[in-house]
Amino acid sequence: MLKLLKTRHNNEWITYANGRRVYADTIKTPYYNQNGELIGVLGITRDITDRYHIEQENRIFKIMSDNAVEGKAIADLEGNIVYANKFWAEIHGFTQEELVGKHLSVFHSPQQLEEVGGPAELFKLGYFEPRDIGICILMELSFPCS
């Protein structure tokens, strides 16, 4: 950094004198005096170890979910799809990218959506009870919904 005489921003593992290791977001920049002479380095370091571990867990989950041989999808509280794995997308005749942003009403009748309970169930129980409500898509065929 000093050889290049410019600011450097990176993430790195740091081991402290007491042996503690942290993953850090670090900014280092040359520090000059009033005459423009280089007199040192100014550095700011932020411990992002927890964030690093969460991101690693999310990557593992995404790899597992993306490659699962069963359909998985996640919708927000308004019913818009925010994630669908490849299997779920393919069985519904879409790509993953095409599904993101679509509303669940594309796949379910109003009656089915009402049966699920929507956000009210989530707030009451803290989760959705799993159930098979079927799908209604593609040329308005019904299987197994009515």
pTM of model > 0.95: no
Confidence of residue 112 (pLDDT cuts 50, 70, 90): confident
For residues 115 and 128, give the distance between their C-alpha atoms in angstroms, rounded to a whole number. Answer: 12
Three-state helix/strand/coil letters over the chain: CCCCCCCEEEEEEEECCCCCEEEEEEEEEEEECCCCCEEEEEEEEEECHHHHHHHHHHHHHHHHHHCCCCCCEEECCCCEEEEECHHHHHHCCCCHHHHCCCEHHHCCCHHHHHHHCHHHHHHHHCCCCCCCCCECCCCCCCEECC
What pLDDT, on a 0 to 100 scale, did the predictor assign at position 98?
Answer: 93
- Of residues 108 and 67, more confidence is placed in 67
Task: Give residue-wise pLDDT tens across range 51-76.
Answer: 999 999 999 999 999 999 888 888 88
Confidence of residue 138 (pLDDT cuts 50, 70, 90): very low
For residues 116 and 130, give the distance between their C-alpha atoms in angstroms, rounded to a whole number. Answer: 9
Domains recognised in the chain with CATH numbers: 1-66 (3.30.450.20), 69-146 (no CATH)
Summarize the confidence of residues 122-144 as an average pLDDT: 54
For residues 69 and 86, give the distance between their C-alpha atoms in angstroms, rounded to a whole number. Answer: 9
What pLDDT, on a 0 to 100 scale, did the predictor assign at position 74?
Answer: 85
- Of residues 121 and 145, more confidence is placed in 121
Q: Please provide the average confidence, as pLDDT, over all residues in the chain.
A: 82
